[in-house]
Structure 1
Amino acid sequence: MRNEAAQRVELVFSLFDANGNGVIDSDDFDLMTDRVLRAASASDDGAKAAIRAAFRRYWTTLADELDADGDGVITVEEFRPFVLDPVRFGPTVTEFAQALSALGDPDGDGLIERPLFVSLMRAIGFEEGNVHALFDAFGPDADDRITVAVWAAGIEDYYAPDLAGIPGDRLVAAPVA
């Protein structure tokens, strides 16, 4: 696993630990889902249901794969080796990437405007300056929009253990002012 990927894993774990108790559990995914849905108030019910299902699958995949002792929590030590395994976790990441990027396109034109992108990423817990840096790295058009496909691919790349120098690395950099 590349160092950049390891840094991405650590950040994802800290964001998924939405209640800050040092482990990931079902309540964390409920908290994050609620925050994201509040940021996506203009999205239709289908897109909201898809992201809710994607978050739920994310949790159940983690719990099924990692919670061997059945205590209902995932530690960072359990999380690290698993989340970047494309065989074990790839379909879950794909579902999540498609659902989140679609949520950012409430008008269905295939484009995501910066303000909604920032709101959704902030709802997940990313630093605002880093979110803007990521959006810029995706190469927005003259109207400051990116495509749904670019964002979905960027999310999938974020979880790839062998990639470095990707737009998503901007999320783990020191916060941008």
Structure 2
Amino acid sequence: MRTEAAQRLELIFSLLDANGNGVIDSGDFDLMTDRVVKAAAASDDGAKAAIRAAFGRYWTTLATELDANGDGVVTLEEFLPFVLDPDRFGPVVTEFAKALSALGDPDKDGLIERPLFVSLMTAIGFDEANIHATFDALGPDTDDRITVATYAANIEAYYAPDMAGIPGDQLVSTAV
């Protein structure tokens, strides 16, 4: 596992810990889901349902795979090795990537404009300067848009244990 991957996932863990108590639980996922759906007010009900389902599967998978003692929480030590295992967690990441990127395209033209990207990523909890740096690294077109496919692929790359030098590394640059 690359250091960059661990740093990316440590940041994700801290953001998923929406109530800041040092562990993640179902309530954290409820808070995160509500913030992301609220940021995507223009998206249709299908896209909102898909992101709710993706967040739900994310939590259910963590709880099922990692909460062996049944206390309803997942620690960072439990989270990192599991989430960085593409064979075990890859399908969850793919579903999440598709749902989040589709949520960023309410007009279904295959493009995500910077303002909505920033809103979604801010709702997740990323630092705004890092969000803009990431968007720039994703190579927006002259109208300041990225493709849905680019966003989805880069969400998946964010969770890859062997990736470094990816646009998502910009999200960590000043946050950790």
TM-score for both structures, normalised by structure 2: 0.99
Q: Does 1:76 align with 2:76?
A: yes
Out of 77-86 and 118-127, give the one that drifted further: 77-86
Q: Which residue of 2 aligns with 1:102?
A: 102
Aligned residues: 175
Q: Which residue of 1 aligns with 2:12?
A: 12
Between the aligned partners of 2:63 and 2:100, the Cα distance in structure 1 is 21
Quote how far apart the aligned CAs of 1:71 are. Answer: 0.5
Q: Does 1:51 align with 2:57?
A: no
Between the aligned partners of 2:108 and 2:5, the Cα distance in structure 1 is 32
Identity %: 81
Q: Does 1:35 align with 2:35?
A: yes
Runs of 4+ with deviation above 2 angstroms: none
Q: Which residue of 2 aligns with 1:164?
A: 164
Q: Which residue of 2 aligns with 1:134?
A: 134
Q: Which residue of 2 aligns with 1:3?
A: 3
Between the aligned partners of 1:142 and 1:170, the Cα distance in structure 2 is 21
Structure 1: state its 5+ residue gaps.
Answer: none
Structure 2: state its 5+ residue gaps.
Answer: none
TM-score for both structures, normalised by structure 1: 0.98
Q: Which residue of 2 aligns with 1:152?
A: 152
Q: Does 1:124 align with 2:124?
A: yes
